[in-house]
Amino acid sequence: MKTFKLENEPKIETGFKTPDHYFENFSIKMMEQLPKNEPKVISIFQKRKTLIIAAAAVLVLALMIPILSPSSTDKKELDATALENYITYQSNVNQYDLINVLETEDINNIKTGIVLEDETIEDHLSVNSNLENLILE
């Protein structure tokens, strides 16, 4: 391989040349080309007022959301059927657990005077196929 010496190789001209006295008159020519009218000045305080008004509007809207939206946290009363179905289908709850949880007031509320005729009881027992289970309970 030949040794490459940068100083001995012919140099390529760049092709770009600046005209004579270009930088001496550059600032004068540039100032002549600029527009004469002054730019419009926008005050910072005017933008600040609109920002404050916008922030206040957002704050008011954020505070009004809980008031205007319908609340879904209303307590709903449990109906007796839903409660009975829940207790029936929960395998870990038995009658002894319910007896331990009941208070005397609840027991007194349960003791209502239900008058059943003999015919009603006979009809129920004749239709019910789990007669043995009822006798064992």
Instruction: DSSP letter for 24, please.
Output: T
pLDDT at 64: 87
- Say whether pLDDT at 73 is over 70: no
Give the separation between CA 61 and CA 37, rounded to whole angstroms: 44
Q: What is the mean pLDDT of residues 22-40?
A: 82
pLDDT at 49: 81
- Say whether pLDDT at 75 is over 90: no
Instruction: DSSP letter for 134, please.
Output: H
pTM passes above 0.75: no
Share of the chain above pLDDT 70, in %: 89
Give the separation between CA 79 and CA 74, rounded to whole angstroms: 15
Query: Sorting pLDDT into bands at 50, 70 and 90, what band is 111?
Result: confident
Query: Sorting pLDDT into bands at 50, 70 and 90, what band is 57?
Result: very high
Query: Sorting pLDDT into bands at 50, 70 and 90, what band is 132?
Result: confident
Q: What is the mean pLDDT of residues 108-128?
A: 79
In terms of pLDDT, which residue wins out, 10 or 86?
86
- List for the chain the helix, strand, coil content (%; round to 5): 55, 0, 45
Give the separation between CA 103 and CA 134, rounded to whole angstroms: 26
Helix locations, 14-113, DSSP H: 26-33, 44-68, 80-89, 95-101, 104-110
Torsion angles phi and psi, residue 33, rounded to 5: -85, -20
Query: Sorting pLDDT into bands at 50, 70 and 90, what band is 55?
Result: very high
Q: What is the mean pLDDT of residues 104-133?
A: 78
pLDDT at 104: 81
Give the separation between CA 97 and CA 116, rounded to whole angstroms: 28
